Amino acid sequence: MPEATFMGVPRSKIPWYPRINYEKCNLCEGYPTPKCIEFCAHFVFDIVEENGKRKLIVKNPEACPVFCVGCQQACPIPGAITFPDKEEINRLIQKLRQEQQQK
């Protein structure tokens, strides 16, 4: 199976995926399912058991569509899910595209 790309750049070289602030994330306490998992159709997240506690993880970071922030917007806790700076990622993509064109 060929490697997934975004704008001609291998997806594996683009560090765009959600970051979880574990000091803020409470797995959407009071809801049956965390809102990020409920929102994301790409199966980016999972819940694991760690030291007897349930914990949200980014299980499939490369499945996250580049520049999507829907899970962050769906999250009821501001700052529990964050993403890298979009302009910084865009510059990286442009740089990687230029490097590929020079090959």
- Which helix (H) or strand (E) segment holds residue 10: the answer is strand 9-10
DSSP string, 23-85: TT--S-TTSSS-HHHHH-TT--EEEEEETTEEEEEES-GGGSPTT--HHHHH-SSTTSEE---
| 3-class secondary structure, 97 | helix
The pLDDT value given to residue 2: 60
Q: Where are the domains of the chain?
A: 18-98
CATH node for 18-98: 3.30.70.20
Q: How confident is the model at residue 1 (pLDDT cuts 50, 70, 90)?
A: low
13-35 residue pLDDT tens: 999 999 999 999 999 999 999 99
